[in-house]
Amino acid sequence: MYLHGNSRRNEQGHLEIGGCDTVELAAQYGTPLYVMDEQLIRQHMRELVVAFQETGLKHRIAYASKAFLSLAMARIVEEEGLMLDVVSDGELHTALQAGFPSENIYFHGNNKSPFELEFALEKEIGCFIVDNFTELEMLSSLTEQRGQSTKVLLRVSPGVEAHTHAYIQTGQEDSKFGFDLVSGQVEKAVLLAQEAPYLDFLGFHIHIGSQIFEMKAFDLAIQKMADFIRYISEKHQISIRVLNVGGGFGIRYESDDQPLTNREYLLTLAKFIKQHFTHEIPEIWVEPGRRIVGEAGTTLYTVGAIKEIPGIRKYVSVDGGMADNPRPALYQAKYEAMLANRAFEEPSEIVSIAGKACESGDMLIWDLQLPPVKTNDLLAVSCTGAYNYSMASNYNRLRRPAVVLVQNGQADVIVERESFDDLIQQDRIPNRLMKKEEVSL
Ligand code: LLP
């Protein structure tokens, strides 16, 4: 398993993260347990900040909170001076409850409800990334009714689809997100936004995918946007002040993955921007999520049942699975893992790690090399910081694990493990299903 950030094998032969022995963490907080390396999160943010400064471009960096959000995470983002991208009233509420400055919050999403728009207007958030005509209409009439101005970007579907190792260019992108560039929707949206008296139209947003290694897709998308911005600003005499190029920077899930460094990503993006904008370069915004938290997360599991089918496969079951990490089941995502309690032992067998949900599809890792694994061993799965806790569910009425933030030997719970009471807190029993002794007199 590739050891990210502040992870190492310590003198006890255990995996240590942020100066905390994972065997002790598991004993203290139980498993499954998400462990987040605070310094690595901050390091990613700082590297992005420094690299962007190096490009000389006017810029902003937002953290895409869908990757992982909690009150403490919002505090870290604020301390590091980043903006925050939210996509729902729930993310917005969390950020506001953490005291995150509302003017530094940007609201994304392809189907913001009238309630969400009003909530965000009420809180005077920094910017709406308007996705479609329905939202544009709703937001312009709401702002008129309220007599309140707000900044907007228009999300553009640039017709470039990014994949992890390849890219395809589609004439007309088949996507639920954004105004379509090819069919002229964007120009129409620009004119509507310009006409709306309370919308302060700043520019455009694109997001071409996630876990991207292949920079060619960014190159193409930026080229298309530069051409379009030149066209639209000359034709309508408007100045486009912002181009948000989204997130999507890939990370190292497996030892063989070779992602660019934060600096390389941003310098490469800057190179494309400087190449393609022959006219004035707008302020460039980015909004990475996975890049900031992905590698910083490790999930600890306790090994339970072991089943060997001779000549076929050895299944090693752990006390979590698709409920705390749905990515293997959803996207065939690959992960690496090691025995955290026997960190120096050489791998000698190939096993497959099964989750505990009642589904054959709940397999975390196929064909993993491990030392001879035994019940009660501690398994650490790396790179689970992004889209794990945030996509976790209570399937099978499993309780969502705790999240512990570690740094310099200190561990703090930032999300408590759910309790049995949490599981039934929202349940209600209608009167007709009450037992006699429960019916109040
Ligand atoms: N901006 C927008 C508009 C986005 O839709 C996303 C991610 C991001 C930024 C952040 O992208 P990142 O830097 O994290 O790649 N659940 C999937 C990933 C979905 C990404 C959705 N949008 C997964 O687990 O791989």
21 and 46 belong to one structural domain: no
Expressed in angstroms and rounded, the spacing between residue 287 Cα and the centre of ligand 1 is 9
pLDDT at position 161:
72
Residue that is written with structure tokens 């120009």 in the block? 187
pLDDT at position 224:
95
pLDDT at position 160:
86
**Would you place residue 163 in the very low, low, confident or very high pLDDT band (cuts 50, 70, 90)?**
low
Whose C-alpha lies nearest to ligand 1, atom 21? 210
Residue 165 has pLDDT above 50, yes or no: no
Q: What whole-number distance in Å separates Cα of residue 212 and Cα of residue 259?
A: 9
pLDDT at position 279:
84
Range of the structural domain that residue 100 is part of: 38-292
Instruction: Find out whether the beta carbon of 288 lies less than 6 Å from any atom of ligand 1.
Output: yes
Q: Where among 292, 314, 341 does a domain terminate?
A: 292
Expressed in angstroms and rounded, the spacing between residue 354 Cα and the centre of ligand 1 is 26
220 and 340 belong to one structural domain: no
**Which one, of 179, 176, 137, lies nearest residue 155 by Cα?**
179
433 within domain boundaries: no
pLDDT at position 109:
96
62 and 188 belong to one structural domain: yes
Cis peptide before 32 (omega within 30 of 0): yes
Residue 167 has pLDDT above 60, yes or no: no
336 within domain boundaries: yes
pLDDT at position 159:
87
Expressed in angstroms and rounded, the spacing between residue 346 Cα and the centre of ligand 1 is 36
**Which one, of 173, 176, 95, lies nearest residue 107 by Cα?**
95
95 and 158 belong to one structural domain: yes
Q: Give pLDDT tens digits for 360-389.
A: 999 999 999 999 999 999 999 999 999 999
**What percent of the chain clears pLDDT 90, i.e. is strictly above it?**
93
**Which one, of 222, 252, 254, 260, lies nearest residue 57 by Cα?**
222
Q: Give pLDDT tens digits for 314-350.
A: 999 999 999 999 999 999 999 999 999 999 999 999 9
278 and 328 belong to one structural domain: no
Expressed in angstroms and rounded, the spacing between residue 411 Cα and the centre of ligand 1 is 28
Q: Of the residues 66, 87, 332, 393, which should be mutated to test ligand 1's pocket, given the most ligand atoms within 8 Å of the CB?
A: 66
Catalytic residues: 358
Instruction: Find out whether the beta carbon of 108 lies less than 6 Å from any atom of ligand 1.
Output: yes
223 and 151 belong to one structural domain: yes
147 within domain boundaries: yes
172 and 321 belong to one structural domain: no
Q: Where among 272, 292, 312 does a domain terminate?
A: 292
Say if residues 391 and 331 touch (Cβ distance below 8 Å): no
Work out the burial of residue 345: count CB atoms within 10 Å of its CB; fewer than 13 is exposed, 13-18 middle, 19 or more buried: middle
Whose C-alpha lies nearest to ligand 1, atom 23? 387
What is the pTM (predicted TM-score) of this model? 0.96
- 55 CA to centre of own chain: 25
CATH number at residue 202: 3.20.20.10
Token digits of residue 100: 């995150």
**Would you place residue 171 in the very low, low, confident or very high pLDDT band (cuts 50, 70, 90)?**
very low
198 and 238 belong to one structural domain: yes
**Counting atoms of ligand 1 from 1, which one is nearest the CA of 391?**
16
Q: What whole-number distance in Å separates Cα of residue 428 and Cα of residue 415?
A: 25
Report the sign of the C-alpha dihedral through residues 10, 13, 14, 20, in that order. Answer: negative
Q: With residue 127 as reference, give the H or E element that holds it.
A: strand 127-130
**Would you place residue 143 in the very low, low, confident or very high pLDDT band (cuts 50, 70, 90)?**
very high
Instruction: Find out whether the beta carbon of 387 lies less than 6 Å from any atom of ligand 1.
Output: yes
27 and 143 belong to one structural domain: no
81 within domain boundaries: yes
Lowest mean pLDDT, pick from 138-142, 168-172, 388-392? 168-172
205 within domain boundaries: yes
Instruction: Find out whether the beta carbon of 290 lies less than 6 Å from any atom of ligand 1.
Output: yes
Say if residues 248 and 222 touch (Cβ distance below 8 Å): no
pLDDT at position 168:
42
439 within domain boundaries: no
As for how many domains the chain has, the answer is: 2
**Which one, of 388, 383, 301, lies nearest residue 339 by Cα?**
301
pLDDT at position 441:
56
CATH number at residue 33: 2.40.37.10
Residue 431 has pLDDT above 60, yes or no: yes
Helices (H), 56-132: 71-79, 89-97, 114-122
28 and 141 belong to one structural domain: no
Q: Where among 243, 271, 292 does a domain terminate?
A: 292
Q: Of the residues 290, 291, 388, which should be mutated to test ligand 1's pocket, given the most ligand atoms within 8 Å of the CB?
A: 290
188 within domain boundaries: yes
pLDDT at position 169:
46
**Counting atoms of ligand 1 from 1, which one is nearest the CA of 290?**
14
pLDDT at position 173:
67
Expressed in angstroms and rounded, the spacing between residue 146 Cα and the centre of ligand 1 is 32
**Would you place residue 166 in the very low, low, confident or very high pLDDT band (cuts 50, 70, 90)?**
very low
The chain-wide mean pLDDT, for the chain, equals 95
2 within domain boundaries: no
Instruction: Find out whether the beta carbon of 248 lies less than 6 Å from any atom of ligand 1.
Output: yes
236 and 343 belong to one structural domain: no
Q: What whole-number distance in Å separates Cα of residue 11 and Cα of residue 164?
A: 38
202 and 267 belong to one structural domain: yes
